Chain A
Amino acid sequence: MALFPLVSNFQEDFVLQLLAVDSENTMNEVAAAAAHHSVGRRVAARPGHIMRIRRQGSDKPFPCEMKLQDTGLKPMECIEVVWEAL
C-alpha cells in the first residue's frame, strides 16, 4: 500500500489532471478514480462502455484487474483513460 500519483489524460477531456491512487489499485479502480475528475464534469458518460487504462502513446491497454504496482508505470507517468465498447 503506497500512495501513487499519476497524470490522468481522460479521453475527450481538455486537461491533464493529478490523480492520487494507490499502488494496490487495479486498473479498473484507477479508471474509476480518473473518471471522478472528468466524467459528469466535462466529459459525458458513455453507457455501454467500460474504461481502459493505457500508457501514453501505447495502443494496448493494461488488463483490467492488473494492479498498478505490476504495470511498470512510474509515479507521475501519464496514463490515457479511454472508452471501450462492451
Chain B
Amino acid sequence: MAVLSRMDWYDIARTTNWTPKHVTEDELFPQELSGSFDIRMEQWENYDEPYKQTYNEYVKVQREKDAGAYSVKAALERSKMFETADPGWLSVMKSHYGAIPRAEYSASTAEARMARFGKAPGMRNMATLGMMDEIRHGQIQLFFPHEHCPKDRQFDWAHKAYGTNEWAIIAARHMFDDMMTTRSAVGVALMLTFAFETGFTNMQFLGLAADAAEAGDWTFSNLISSIQTDESRHAQIGAPLVSVLVANGKKAEAQKMVDIGIWRAWKLFSVLTGPVMDYYTPLEHRKQSFKEFMQEWIVTQFERSLLDLGLDTPWYWNQLLEEIDSQHHGMHLGVWYWRPTVWWNPAAGVSPEEREWLEEKYPGWNATWGKNWDVITENLLAGKRELTYPETLPVVCNMCQLPINQTPGPAWKVRDYPLVYKDRTYHFCSEGCKWCFEEEPERYAGHLSLVDRFLAGMIQPMNLEGALKYMELAPGEIGDDAHGYAWVEKFRSAYTKNTA
C-alpha cells in the first residue's frame, strides 16, 4: 500500500481544534493554565511549528538515540575514566547531575501543560513529544551517574540534591519552579522553551559536550549531545508562539515574560556553567571561555532571533553584557570559599598557568578576583587553611537566591539593591533581579531565602554545622578542593623566596 509522505497529511492531522458544546471555551482552556491573552481561537491556528515530526518518526529516532547513548555507556563501563579523569572533571559531572535530571523530570509536567492547555494545535503536538523528551532526560541522567555511587557518595546527589534545601538547589528550584511548574502554557513556552532552552541550554549541553569529548569522557559527551538534539527540537515551541502574540498585539506581554526568563536563566548559568567552563575543566581541554561561548550563543545568535521575531533586546541588555565578563568569577569564588556547602569538590582553577589564561581571556582578572585569590593562596601556603573556610553566610539575592557579589579589588563594585515591600526588606544582586520582583511582587514575596530562614531560626544550631545539617550534607558528601590543594604548591618557590 502506498504511504503518503508526512507533509501530504500533517496539516490535516494537526487541525485538532474544535468548537466545544458541553463546556465553554474558557472552561476547556482556563486562563490560568492556558494564558492565552483572549486571543481568538482561529488565530491560534496560525501557529506553525518549524520542526514537524510525527509520533512514528519520533519513536524511531528516540529509540536510535537511546540505543546509541546506552551502547557507549555499556562499552566504556570497564574503562578507567572515573579513576583517571581529572578531579575537576568529576566535579563538572557531579554539579551537572545534581542540578539537572530532576529539573528535567519537572520540565515534563511543564511540557504536559502545553500539550493539554496550549490553544495552538501545533504547540500541543510539539509539546507532547517534548514531554516525553523530558521524561527521558530525567531518567537517563539519573541512570548514568548511578554506576559511580559505590565509588563516590557525591554522585548520589544526582537524585538527592533536588529534594534538599542545599543553597544552590534552592536557587535552581526557585528559577525552574518559576518558569516551569507555576506558569501557564504560554508562560512555559515563552520562558522555558524560548528564553531558557533556545537561549541557554546550548551553553550547558553543547559547551559541556565539547569539553567532555576533549577530556576523554565519551559517555558523558555522548549522553548530553543526545539530550541536546531533543532540546533543540522542543525549544522551537516558543518562537512561533512569539509570532502569534506579536501579530495579535501582545508584544509587550511576550517581551516581559521573555525578559524575565532570560534574566533568570542568565543568573543560574553564571553559577552552574561559568565556573565549570573557566575553572573546573582542565586548562588543556577548554574549547572556549564562558564569555566567548556567551558572546557566540547569546549575544550574537539569540539576540538575532529575538529581533527576527519582532521582539526587542531586553532593557537590561547592556547590564547583561557587562555581567558576562564578571559575574561567574564571583560565583566561582563564592562556591569555592563556601565549598563545604556544595555536593561536589570545586576545582580552584587558579594555578599560575590558569591565572595567565584567565588574564588573557578576561583582562584585569588579576587586579580584581586575583586580589582575593592572592590572600587565599598565601593563607594556604602559610598553612592557615582555617582562614579559607567561611564563618558566616553570604547574603543571597531574594530573586536568584545566589550570593550577592560583584567585582572586587580596587575597582570594587559590590552593592546591595534593596527593596521594601509590605514592610519587609528584600535584597537583590542587581537591577535585573529587583525588576523581576517588582513586576510580580505577590508571586515572590512569600519566599524565604536561606539567609531569611537562618534569621528566622529555622537553621539550628546557628553555625556551619547547623547549616550543613539543614542542607542535608553528610560527611563524605561535603565539598572540598578538588585537587587537594595541590595547585598551591606551584606558588611555593616564589612564596619561599619572598618570605625568606
- Chain A interface (Cβ < 8 Å from any Cβ of B): 5, 7, 9, 11-20, 36-37, 40-44, 56, 74, 76-78
Contact = CB atoms under 8 A, between A and B. Distances in A.
B374 interface: yes
B392 A43 contact: no
A67 to B, nearest CB: 22
B454 A11 contact: no
B451 interface: yes
A17 B412 contact: no
B312 interface: no
A7 B425 CA distance: 12
B416 A56 contact: yes
B403 A15 contact: yes
A81 B159 CA distance: 42
Contact of B375 (A15, A20, A41): A41
A31 to B, nearest CB: 15
A9 B372 contact: no
Contacts of A42: 333, 337, 372, 375-376, 408
B315 to A, nearest CB: 23
A33 B333 CA distance: 22
B241 interface: no
B418 A78 contact: yes
A17 B393 CA distance: 6
A18 B395 contact: yes
B416 A16 contact: yes
A36 B390 CA distance: 10
Interface string B384-417: 0001101111110000000111111110101110
A15, A17, A44 — most chain B CB neighbours (10 Å): A15
Which of A9, A12, A16 is the most central at the interface, judged by chain B CB atoms within 10 Å of its CB? Answer: A16
B353 to A, nearest CB: 22
26 contacts: A7-B395, A9-B415, A9-B416, A14-B333, A14-B372, A14-B406, A14-B414, A15-B334, A15-B403, A15-B405, A15-B414, A16-B414, A16-B416, A17-B395, A18-B395, A37-B391, A40-B379, A42-B333, A42-B337, A42-B376, A43-B372, A44-B371, A76-B455, A77-B425, A78-B415, A78-B427
Given A5-B455, A41-B379, A42-B337, A14 B405 contact: yes
B240 interface: no
A77 to B, nearest CB: 8
A36 B410 CA distance: 20
Given A14-B406, A18-B393, A42-B376, 13 more contacts: A12-B412, A14-B407, A15-B394, A16-B395, A16-B405, A16-B414, A17-B393, A40-B375, A40-B379, A41-B387, A43-B408, A56-B416, A78-B416
Contacts, number: 92
Nearest to A42: B372
Interface in B127-169: none
Contacts of B408: 12-14, 42-43
Contacts of A37: 390-392
Contacts of A76: 425, 427, 455
Given A14-B406, A18-B392, A74 B412 contact: no
Contacts of A36: 391
Nearest to B384: A40
Contact of B425 (A16, A18, A43, A74): A74
A40 B392 contact: no
Contacts of B70: none
B134 to A, nearest CB: 34
A37 B395 CA distance: 13
Nearest to A20: B392
Contacts of B395: 7, 15-18
B29 interface: no
B369 interface: yes
Given A18-B392, A40-B387, A12 B371 contact: yes
A41 B330 contact: no
Contacts of A41: 375-376, 379, 387-388
Contact of A44 (B375, B388, B404, B451): B375
A36 to B, nearest CB: 7
Nearest to B403: A15
Contacts of A5: 455
Contacts of B451: 18
Interface in B240-276: none
Contacts of B388: 41
Nearest to A57: B415
A36 B391 CA distance: 9
Contacts of B404: 15-16
